[in-house]
């Protein structure tokens, strides 16, 4: 059975593996019955936490999770969902405002077929929206009993601290969990996010411990890596011709050899690495098939030796993210040139 760990300082506990439902629905696996089977298998193996979001297949993922938890299984599951991204074609169906949060939670509750969501998470920051506006709305939902806890996902460390100060100074419910990207290939959160989470007693539920599939065993350096559908959709993260992705391929060969020496699959090495960080509460696994689930479950029982961890550090140094595109979020201070150029005026043709 999967180990249960404290969920921050809330007194709650969740399994060290969280079942991520992103791949349920039209995005990856449209077979609802298959998705239900995967969910039931995970629950039978001791996974007690499920994570989804309203944007996953435009709500279809939540619907599948709701179906799977019908018939008495809801009470034993720690259910997490998220809001922020646009759902459907209406551009007003998105964001971190009070107006949308109040609408979004009702839609999610209906799709999930439940009266409450255990952890309701802000899927990404929205710098143009006062975070107090967001926390105020979420606080009201906690007090109404529609959500139990508030979380964030892929927040900068300064924003995590800001949320704690807002809660203290303005009487809001406190954010108790952060969901960052974390894997052997994307270790940037080790610099500040994980230490800040520890300092404030936040639960940490990393997404993509397999680095978006890079650590699944499918990718190998030194071969003619095919251009996949993922590479066509997200070339910055998956096209092997991008130098940062080529660097990942080279590292994967070293990690694969290390896993073999340790008598492990690369999947188990990767997930166990994430679980062994003292700040981490539970790692999100996102299987598309039952076989994917089975290949990942055993990682919860793996403990890596100090020697193996030292060798991982030598291959990918602590705090290093090989490809910045894997960080999950880039603040406007990096993406908007106008925020870095005093008095700059856009010129025709893009010149400044």
Structure confidence by residue, pLDDT tens digits, 262-319: 999 999 999 999 999 999 999 999 999 999 999 999 999 999 999 999 999 999 999 9
pLDDT of residue 323: 96
56 catalytic residue (yes or no):
yes
Please identify which of the residues 56, 120, 149, 219 carries the catalytic annotation: 56
Q: Among residues 178, 184, 183, which one has the least CA distance to residue 198?
A: 178
Asked whether the predicted pLDDT for residue 224 surpasses 70, the reply is no
Q: What is the 3-state secondary structure (H, E, C) of the chain?
A: CCCEEECCCCCCEEECEEEECCCEECCCECCHHHHHHHHHHHHHCCCCEEECCCCHHHHHHHHHHHHHHCCCCHHHCEEEEEECCCCCCCCCCCCCCHHHHHHHHHHHHHHHCCCCEEEEEECCCCCCCCHHHHHHHHHHHHHHCCEEEEEEECCCHHHHHHHHHHHHHHCCCCEEEEECECECCECHHHCCHHHHHHHCCCEECCECCCHHHCCCCCCCCCCCCCCCHHHHHCHHHHCCCCHHHHHHHHHHHHHHHHHHHCCCCHHHHHHHHHHCCCCCCCEEECCCCHHHHHHHHHHHHCCCCHHHHHHHHHHCCCCCECCHHHHCCCCHHHHCHHHCCCCCCCCHHHCC
pLDDT confidence of 123, banded at 50, 70, 90? very high
Contacts of 257 (CB under 8 A, 6+ apart): none
Tell me what the mean pLDDT of segment 171-190 comes to.
Answer: 98
CB 135 within 8 A of CB 143: no
pLDDT of residue 220: 79
- Judged by average pLDDT, the poorest of 33-47, 89-103, 108-122, 219-233 is 219-233
Burial, 239: exposed, middle or buried (Cβ in 10 Å; 0-12, 13-18, 19+)?
Answer: middle
For residue 18, the cross-strand partners are 49, 284
User: 11-221+266-305+317-339: which CATH architecture?
Assistant: Alpha-Beta Barrel (3.20)
Per-residue pLDDT tens for 27-64?
A: 999 999 999 999 999 999 999 999 999 999 999 999 99
């Amino acid at each position: 059975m999967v180990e249960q760990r404290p969920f921050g300082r809330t007194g709650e506990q969740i399994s060290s593996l969280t079942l991520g439902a992103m791949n349920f629905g039209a995005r990856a696996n449209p077979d609802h019955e298959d998705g239900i089977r995967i969910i039931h298998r995970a629950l039978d193996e001791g996974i007690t936490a499920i994570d989804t979001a309203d944007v996953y297949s435009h709500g279809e993922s939540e619907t599948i999770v709701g179906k799977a938890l019908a018939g008495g299984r809801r009470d034993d599951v720690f259910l997490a969902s998220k809001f922020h991204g646009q759902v459907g074609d209406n551009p007003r169906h998105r964001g971190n405002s009070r107006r949308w949060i109040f609408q979004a939670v009702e839609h999610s509750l209906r799709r999930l077929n439940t009266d409450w969501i255990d952890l309701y998470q802000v899927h990404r920051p929205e710098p143009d929206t006062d975070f107090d506006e967001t926390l105020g709305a979420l606080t009201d939902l906690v007090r109404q009993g529609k959500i139990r806890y508030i979380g964030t996902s892929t927040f900068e460390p300064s924003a995590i601290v800001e949320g704690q100060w807002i809660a203290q100074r303005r009487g809001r419910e406190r954010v108790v969990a952060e969901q960052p990207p974390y894997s052997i290939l994307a270790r940037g959160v080790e610099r500040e996010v994980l230490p800040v989470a520890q300092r404030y007693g936040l639960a940490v539920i990393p997404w993509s411990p397999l680095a978006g599939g890079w650590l699944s065993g499918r990718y190998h350096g030194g071969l003619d890596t095919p251009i996949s559908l993922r590479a066509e959709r997200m070339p910055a993260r998956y096209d092997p011709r991008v130098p940062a992705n080529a660097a990942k391929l080279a590292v994967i060969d070293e990690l694969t050899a290390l896993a073999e020496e340790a008598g492990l699959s690369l999947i188990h090495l990767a997930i166990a690495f994430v679980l062994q960080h003292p700040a981490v509460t539970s790692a999100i696994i996102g299987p598309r098939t039952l076989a994917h689930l089975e290949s990942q479950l055993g990682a919860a029982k793996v403990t890596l030796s100090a020697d193996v961890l030292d060798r991982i550090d030598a291959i990918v140094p602590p705090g290093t993210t090989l490809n910045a595109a894997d960080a999950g979020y880039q603040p406007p201070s990096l993406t908007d040139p106008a925020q870095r150029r005093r008095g700059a005026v856009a010129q025709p043709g893009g010149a400044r």
